[in-house]
Amino acid sequence: MSPVRRCSRTACGRPAVATLTYVYADSTAVLGPLATYAEPHCYDLCAEHSERLTAPRGWEVVRLIDGSAPARPSGDDLEALANAVREAARPQERAAEAGGGRGADPMEVARRGHLRILRSPDN
């Protein structure tokens, strides 16, 4: 027996890349990444058959994306990263303008990196 699972379609010998499951109560066909192990009520499909999959009239096809594939960074991701770097640099700029940082906050006693030691409100 071959360790590679094959497409469930008749006369197709290509390796399976997706698993098809029917949810009869919701009239839905769910196509997702290849399941960990083969189950009798699921169908393994090759890339070609999974792309061409259609459902019966009145049924909905839900295609789940493969979470194991590395996602490409988008422009929003890069902008968020740039904003985070700018935000992290701001406290140092304010401390330099305030003359060492101690005069900026009357409750602040000392600072080490991003941590602050605050004076107790009772004192």
What are the C-alpha distances in Å from 102 to residues 67, 79, 99, 112? 48, 32, 8, 12
Give percent of the chain above pLDDT 70: 73
**60-72 CB burial, b ≥16 within 10 A, e <16:** eeeeeeeeeeeee
Q: By CB neighbour count within 10 A (0-12 exposed, 13-18 middle, 19+ buried), where does 21 fall?
A: middle
Paired tokens of 112: 């080490």
Contacts of 86 (CB under 8 A, 6+ apart): none
Does this model's pTM top 0.85? My answer is no
Question: Would you call 11 helix, strand, or coil by DSSP?
Answer: coil
Of 3-17, 25-39, 42-56, 104-118, the least confident? 104-118
What are the C-alpha distances in Å from 119 to residues 5, 20, 94, 104, 116? 65, 62, 20, 14, 10
How far is it, in rounded angstroms, from Cα 61 to Cα 53? 8
pLDDT, residue 83, reads 79
Instruction: Please provide the average confidence, as pLDDT, over all residues in the chain.
Output: 79
